[in-house]
Chain A
Amino acid sequence: MKVSYFVSAALLAAAAIPASAAEISDGKVKIGILNDQSGVYADFGGKWSVEAAKMAVEDFGGKVQGAPIEIISADHQNKPDIASNIARQWYDTEQVDAIMELTTSSVALAVQGISKEKKKIDIVTGAATTDLTGKQCSPYGFHWAYDTHSQAVGTGGSLVQQGGDSWFFVTVDYAFGYSLKEQTAKFVESHGGKVLGEVRYPLGSTDYSSFLLQAQSSGAKVIGLANAGLDTSNSIKQAAEFGIVQGGQRLAALLFTLAEVHGLGLQAAQGVVLTEGYYWDRDDKSREFGQRFFKRTNRMPNMIQAATYSAVTQYLKAVDKAGTDETEAVAKQLHSMPVDDAVTTNGKVQADGNMVHDMYLYQVKAPNESTKDWDYYKYLATIPGNEAFLSEKESGCPTAAQ
């Protein structure tokens, strides 16, 4: 116990020395993109997020305060232990200044814990849990893009308003599913809706017919899918097979992005209501970014990939403004600077680290409504940032309350 205490104290000291010795430590700024590059979330963020990060560096000019910027990446396979090892190695021996992306809530929480301990910046764009800026917040941790609260308010709220006042949840049986379901249920009930039931299924199931039949026979007006990635795609595909939408029930995919819509195809995904913070065909600014991303990767970015661009850009701006990559100074800049770039408009970082910005409600188009490639969404509504995200008082972040 004592030994490990001394070791971490020594490491902390070691990490702090170069920062005070030079303006930019080790003569370069190194950002690690750590996410799932081969598993169920490989298209959700994956190597496309790495491309977005590289794009941000190129747009920034490749240098900050005269020092070169480097992006490195690794596959954490959705396993917190593997992610923790990589994070420690990056911080301890490879002079990584900040880790970003971090798809999968359990991984994000683990790496944010390590970053806090080692006094390093982490910016999460791929994970959903509100705990990142709540109970387990870090003074050096930031959350971009979306969280379970924004998804619940966006998709849940709009469907309640449209008369979807009775819900049945199909929930993936682990922490992320529970929190997504609970936040949505709370929101539905506080707006006069009713939750008729829930079925929890094991992660990575391939056959959803049984769960969907239970949802169907509950008679609920809305079936809430509290899951993500391939699980959501499979549930939606099989719901179409069993005629659930034709039967008059609506499907609410609580976490569903452009990447999954593309994989599923409009035929199966049409009519699904979803919440995203970025869609390429929203305005001139987003179209310009989307098309530049498309030229590199042959696909349009979703909100996770776009937010990774935004996060890297904002971090570099903060380093530039602080004149150093020392953690305290950069974190201070990140907390105070407004976020305004190619993908985010009017973003503001709260004391708990949450980047608050507007979210948008979309509905997936029917195949005959889509006029060009990647023309997938119909705009429904804008959810103002202060409604979409918890305020720093509500978040439960101990350091933000001070």
Chain B
Amino acid sequence: MTMIFGIPVQALLGQLLVGLINGSFYAMLSLGLAVIFGLLRVINFAHGAQYMLGAFVGYLLLTYLGIGYWPALILAPLIVGLFGIVVERLALSRLYDTDPLYGLLFTFGLALVLEGIFRYYYGVSGNPYAVPPLLAGGTNLGFMFLPNYRGWVVVASLIVCFGTWALIEKTRLGSYLRAATENPRLVQAFGVNVPLLLTLTYGLGSALAGLAGILAAPVYQVSPLMGSDLIIVVFAVVVIGGMGSILGAIVTGYMLGLAEGLTKVFYPEASNLVVFVIMAIVLLVRPAGLFGRDA
């Protein structure tokens, strides 16, 4: 067997694939954060809670209404997106003119309230959510046994990430969004409804978190704390990629998943830490982030 640094190549390939799977969640979540920050200049601390909400919506749909995974894959992001729109209209939109700190504090409080509610009713142990029968089982790739569902997560996240990137960078609607970021007054003068655009953006960002949540439900336990476990890492991803850079968030998400996967092979004790070490190095060398433009 060929070896690299004392590790068999096959094992290494397996670890890289596992890293890619985790990277998919990082990418999807940091994408939503980057979109919201890029266009609204709001640091959305409720992102982890919205991810948790997506998983719980899937779980509740299944338990109380008997609605399975596939419809939930559409319904959960829609419901979480709608929730985001309501939040933006009722509260967040009133904070745009204030210090950015207020938006951060508001979303942080919202996250605590949401988590508290679910913890009160569902405990912390987590609730099981079965893998849909179509994707149960696994495939032997020769170098590793890949559970089909995890393969699907990678494919789905690639489609979603690059779909969102194309929407913002390549379409007319996306060009309005980008223009509204650069100079909202001028865009409004051209007859574009800027507040509506911002509301939709926050809805889209929340829906992305909800989608990641429902995708994660069969892999992890559906638990009120699942979002707060992940959100700090995701913030680090956004910082490393460059605040507000959409492509940066996607690429960095996958890259850090891989880096974490490699750490788990060579020095597993540090696997929770490696993302932050990378963040510190990037901030020292390139304060604007890997893909960010210097402001």
Measured CB to CB, the residues of A under 8 A from B are 38-40, 42-43, 173, 199-202, 204-207, 209-211, 213-214, 216-217, 230, 233-234, 241-243, 247, 263-265
23 A/B residue pairs, CB under 8 Å, sorted by A? A38-B123, A38-B124, A40-B125, A42-B124, A173-B269, A199-B268, A200-B268, A204-B229, A206-B226, A207-B220, A209-B18, A209-B150, A210-B15, A210-B264, A210-B268, A213-B15, A213-B144, A217-B14, A234-B221, A241-B138, A241-B149, A242-B145, A265-B128
What 1/0 flags go to B2-41 for Cβ under 8 Å of A? 0000001011001100110110000000000000000000
Query: Which A residues are CB-close (under 8 A) to B138?
Result: 241-243
CA distance A247 to B126 in the complex (A): 28
Tell whether B271 is near chain A: CB-to-CB under 8 Å.
Answer: yes
Tell whether B195 is near chain A: CB-to-CB under 8 Å.
Answer: no
CA distance A205 to B273 in the complex (A): 12
Query: Which A residues are CB-close (under 8 A) to B145?
Result: 216, 242-243, 247
A200/B269 contact (C-beta < 8 A), A42-B124, A242-B145 known? yes
Query: Which B residues are CB-close (under 8 A) to A241?
Result: 131, 138, 147, 149-150
B85 to chain A, nearest CB (A): 30
Residue in B18, B22, B125, B131 whose CB lies within 8 Å of A213: B18
B56 to chain A, nearest CB (A): 16
List B121-149 residues whose CB lies under 8 Å from chain A.
Answer: 123-126, 128, 131, 138, 144-145, 147, 149
Tell whether B265 is near chain A: CB-to-CB under 8 Å.
Answer: yes
> Is the pair B124, A214 in contact by a Cβ cutoff of 8 Å?
no
CA distance A259 to B27 in the complex (A): 35
Query: Which A residues are CB-close (under 8 A) to B265?
Result: 210, 214
> Is the pair A40, B124 in contact by a Cβ cutoff of 8 Å?
yes
**How many B residues touch A, CB cutoff 8 Å?**
33
CA distance A217 to B143 in the complex (A): 10
A211/B264 contact (C-beta < 8 A), A201-B271, A202-B272, A205-B272 known? yes
B293 to chain A, nearest CB (A): 33
Query: Which A residues are CB-close (under 8 A) to B147?
Result: 241-243
CA distance A199 to B7 in the complex (A): 14
A394 to chain B, nearest CB (A): 31
A42/B15 contact (C-beta < 8 A), A200-B268, A202-B272, A243-B145 known? no
Residue in A40, A201, A209, A242 whose CB lies within 8 Å of B268: A201
Identify which of B19, B229, B265, B271 gathers the most chain A CB atoms within 10 Å of its CB: B271
B3 to chain A, nearest CB (A): 12
CA distance A267 to B53 in the complex (A): 27
B288 to chain A, nearest CB (A): 30
Query: Which B residues are CB-close (under 8 A) to A200?
Result: 268-269
A209 to chain B, nearest CB (A): 5
Query: Which B residues are CB-close (under 8 A) to A243?
Result: 138, 145, 147
CA distance A265 to B127 in the complex (A): 11
A13 to chain B, nearest CB (A): 43
User: Of all chain A residues, which has the CB nearest B229?
Assistant: A206
> Is the pair A217, B10 in contact by a Cβ cutoff of 8 Å?
yes
> Is the pair A206, B220 in contact by a Cβ cutoff of 8 Å?
yes
New contact pairs (4) apart from A201-B271, A207-B220, A230-B221, CB-CB < 8 Å: A40-B124, A234-B221, A241-B138, A263-B125
A201 to chain B, nearest CB (A): 6
A217/B18 contact (C-beta < 8 A), A241-B138, A243-B138 known? no
CA distance A242 to B123 in the complex (A): 28
Query: Which A residues are CB-close (under 8 A) to B229?
Result: 204, 206
CA distance A39 to B14 in the complex (A): 33
List B241-295 residues whose CB lies under 8 Å from chain A.
Answer: 261, 264-265, 268-269, 271-272
> Is the pair B269, A202 in contact by a Cβ cutoff of 8 Å?
yes
Query: Which A residues are CB-close (under 8 A) to B128?
Result: 263-265
B61 to chain A, nearest CB (A): 20
A165 to chain B, nearest CB (A): 22
CA distance A202 to B10 in the complex (A): 25
User: Of all chain B residues, which has the CB nearest A43?
Assistant: B125
Identify which of B19, B22, B264, B272 gathers the most chain A CB atoms within 10 Å of its CB: B264
Identify which of A40, A209, A242 gathers the most chain B CB atoms within 10 Å of its CB: A209
> Is the pair A230, B125 in contact by a Cβ cutoff of 8 Å?
yes
CA distance A224 to B208 in the complex (A): 38
CA distance A234 to B14 in the complex (A): 20
User: Of all chain B residues, which has the CB nearest A265?
Assistant: B128
CA distance A206 to B18 in the complex (A): 13
User: Of all chain A residues, which has the CB nearest B272?
Assistant: A202
What 1/0 flags go to B66-96 for Cβ under 8 Å of A? 0000000000000000000000000000000
A302 to chain B, nearest CB (A): 14
> Is the pair B11, A214 in contact by a Cβ cutoff of 8 Å?
yes
> Is the pair A210, B220 in contact by a Cβ cutoff of 8 Å?
no
CA distance A241 to B264 in the complex (A): 19
